[in-house]
Amino acid sequence: MTHQKTDTQWWQEAVVYQVYPRSFQDSNGDGIGDLTGIIQRLDYLKKLGISAIWLSPVYRSPNDDNGYDISDYEQIMTEFGTMADMERLIQEAQKREIRIIMDLVVNHTSDEHQWFIDSRSSKENPYRDFYVWRKGVNGGGPNDLESTFLGPAWKLDETTGEYYLHLFSEKQPDLNWENPNVRDAIYDMMNFWINKGIGGFRMDVIDLVGKIPDQKITGNGPKLHDYLQEMNAKTFGGKNLLTVGETWGATPEIAKQYSDPKRNELSMVFQFEHVGLDEEPGKSKWDLRPLQIAELKEVFAKWQTEIGDQGWNSLFWNNHDLPRIVSRWGNDKAYRVQSAKMLAILLHMLKGTPYIYQGEEIGMTNRVIHDITEVEDIESKNMYADRIQKGYGKKDILASINVKGRDNARTPMQWDNSENAGFTTGTPWLAVNENYDKINVEQALADNDSIFYTYQKLIDLRKNYPLIIWGSFELLEETATDIFAYYRHYQGATWLVVCNFSDQEQVFSLEKTVTETILSNTEKHYSQLVDTILEPYEAFVVAISN
């Protein structure tokens, strides 16, 4: 079943909300968020206006990498609840016209998955080829491939004297996608979930499944797109489901391969080019430099124009792996509300499907830590140990973790100003941000001028104006460096989006007549735009006469 681009898919008009279940809402006082807690908060998400929830993994897992190490794809993690709770979540969400998008982690499993237990038991076991096993070379690993979590990507297994591949933690052995039995087992599991009524899949590091480790090819291997087309045909193809691939190595050209409807692969991809703009080129995410707004404009404009109408893009600032955007590129002190609204307006007026990460819609901030003992995240801990060994100063390492560590996104959701921010009656698994008494959902809902209502309005506009979904994008080149301004054009109508991406006043000038103010994060009304003084982080959307 192929779709022409004139066909609208529900996910092209949707806004997706990511829930990180461990940190969203605890219903039983054990300090860990759960499925019943999510059900209790569905009316809040309905009020926000979202169409789908991307649920971070809730499958059975020993939690070496917070659920991204799965030991059973068809069972629910005990602390999150039961399969009955999961089925109830799908049904309760459906009643509110919200679909559940499952996180599909099929590059690797947990080393506690039965497949791997069998695979490592002997070279003759039928499951041996479910994983990537190789003989060592000269007393070491098969080659010098590195794990994303630092150290070698090969682990010697004493039982058979061979090495298995793990591109992430050594408790996350990589599946061998070249084995058709592996692929069939994965498709059966996907159909198990599709039959439960889910709305689609977010696919974790899906660009790695075509790896050829012997040639040190990890991302974008030669068979990757064959595998995705096969997956499409055997699972979600023609079923009106949202599929989004996490593809760190994607360029616009590669993104079109994934998301061109004629190719029958995925709905869209997450691409991360903008995410690395505050890193020193060629170094790691921990080596920081200030964001250059000119570079951000260039990257966004490239993705907006080059994907065009051939593929489909996703739009995001935050997820469970990224720091809070208002702390990262906004100003979480003097201009928290203003800069959070500006970031929302800038992103949601672009073409593509926007994703909101829990707490983003109330302007939650990074939580500053003072010692490594306060860190839960395996990636941050590994980096800390590695850099201490290499002689980096403790203060510098903690500064990097405070800016970029994954725990920033994972602190519990701030619901109200009661103890533990209304997240739990017990001891939270990760400390709540100290600012919950001022930044919380209850406060946001009570304030008509809050960040929440800007997000609600942006979602509502997307539902009512095809221009936001289908319009073409044009960057305004002749502006001050820190002004990010662009047009959206559609069927003779033009909207102008202007964002002051700085804490200084800026002058913006344009000889055009404003016919309507669509949205603004100030009290201003716009009629003409010649020599307009923009306040710090001011943002507005206006219709202009052509």
- What's the rounded Cα separation, in Å, for the pair 258 and 247? 10
Contacts with 287 (C-beta within 8 Å, 6 or more apart), sequence order: 279, 280, 400
Q: Rounded CA gap, 132 and 157, in Å? A: 12
Strands 133-134 and 154-157: unpaired
64 as an active site residue: the answer is no
Closest CA to 3 of 306, 315, 259, 201: 259
Distance CA 435, CA 367 (A): 9
Burial class of 327 by CB neighbour count within 10 A (0 to 12, 13 to 18, 19+): buried
Q: How far apart are CA 348 and CA 49, in angstroms?
A: 13
- The question of whether 207 is a catalytic residue gets the answer no
Alpha carbons 118 and 116: distance in angstroms, whole number: 5
SS3 content of the chain, % helix, strand, coil (to 5): 35, 20, 45
- Of 260, 266, 262, 209, nearest to 242 by C-alpha is 266
Show the 3-state SS of 150-173.
CCECEEEECCCCEEEECCCCCCCC
Instruction: Count Cβ atoms below 10 Å from residue 179 Cβ, excluding itself.
Output: 16
User: Which of the residues 79, 85, 246, 538 is marked catalytic?
Assistant: 246
Which member of 34, 64, 85, 204 is catalytic?
Answer: 204
3-state secondary structure of 280: coil
Helix axes 224-234, 180-194, angle to 10 degrees: 40
The whole-angstrom separation of Cα 206 and Cα 68 is: 13
Provide DSSP, 289-325. Answer: -PPPHHHHHHHHHHHHHHHTTTS-BEE-S--TTS--H
Residue 529 DSSP code: E
Catalytic residue list? 204, 246
